[in-house]
Amino acid sequence: MNAKLEPGLYIVATPIGNLSDLSPRASATLAAADVIACEDSRVTAKLFNHMGVKKSMAPYHDHNADRVRPALIARMASESVALVSDAGTPLISDPGFKLVRDARAAGVTVTTIPGPCAAIAALTLAGLPSDRFLFMGFLPSKQKARADAIAEIAAVRATLVFYESGPRLSSALAALAEGLGDREAGVAREITKRFEECVTDSLSALAARYADAPPKGEIVIVVAPPGEAAPASEADGDTALAEAMTRLSPARAAGEVSKALGLDRRTLYARAMELKDGG
């Protein structure tokens, strides 16, 4: 018999593919909870069938969250409520952060039972720098919004992690190549399942690979950080100065180029005066 859980909210990570990845603590928590808040009861029921238990489930997803959240929080005063997503760690590109925020505001005890997360699993598979990374979830579906989102992160010096679907994979990779440059990247799919795969190549090569054969299942894209820019040379400074001086005085041109290229402003000003005199 499972020990009674104290009232509160329990954030429970569930398997992203292989059901054997459910931790003993997560299994015990789900079995003992009074109610399970889940995205899709049909998906969560498969996990409970694997566990051999039957549980009361309350749908909690983007479409009903605002309506059902107050009632769930009210139940937490006297009941244990476990929050799960369809797969992986709740709140990571899934509904839930408002439930946690409002539960904490109401004085409810919030406990996490950590476990699988597709973004972290893909990062470990891709062989790209993992000391700094930025998780972006799903890119917008519309072309302009997607391009704008990519432009916002183009200069971020960290590995980038995205979720994507099979039908959109090739176009997303092509958009990333256009907006970020043709960086090294990895496409991970079927993580923890029998046909787990992580393919690494340049963004453009990966876009071509999947253009005519979009894969099935949930997919994670991992993109390397931008490479180190080569230091600006004197020739770069001359070129930039010549352009800037068509619009600005030598002093202001030197200031603009210094800021843009990281070159010494006094040296640039002296060179600007030489260029002005035909040197």
Residue from 87, 89, 79, 28 nearest 58 by CA:
79
CATH superfamily for domain 119-223: Tetrapyrrole methylase, C-terminal domain (3.30.950.10)
**What are the tens digits of pLDDT across the range 169-205?**
999 999 999 999 999 999 999 999 999 999 999 999 9
Task: Give CA–CA dist 268/110, Å, rounded.
Answer: 58
In the CATH hierarchy, which fold is given to the domain comprising 8-116? Cobalt-precorrin-4 Transmethylase; domain 1 (3.40.1010)
Alpha helices in the chain (DSSP H): 24-32, 41-51, 65-75, 97-105, 118-126, 143-153, 166-180, 203-211, 234-244, 250-261, 265-276
Tokens 């010096």 sit on residue: 157
pTM here is: 0.79
In whole angstroms, what separates CA 265 from the centre of its chain?
A: 39
What's the mean pLDDT in 121-143?
95
**What are the tens digits of pLDDT across the range 79-128?**
999 999 999 999 998 879 999 999 999 999 999 999 999 999 999 999 99
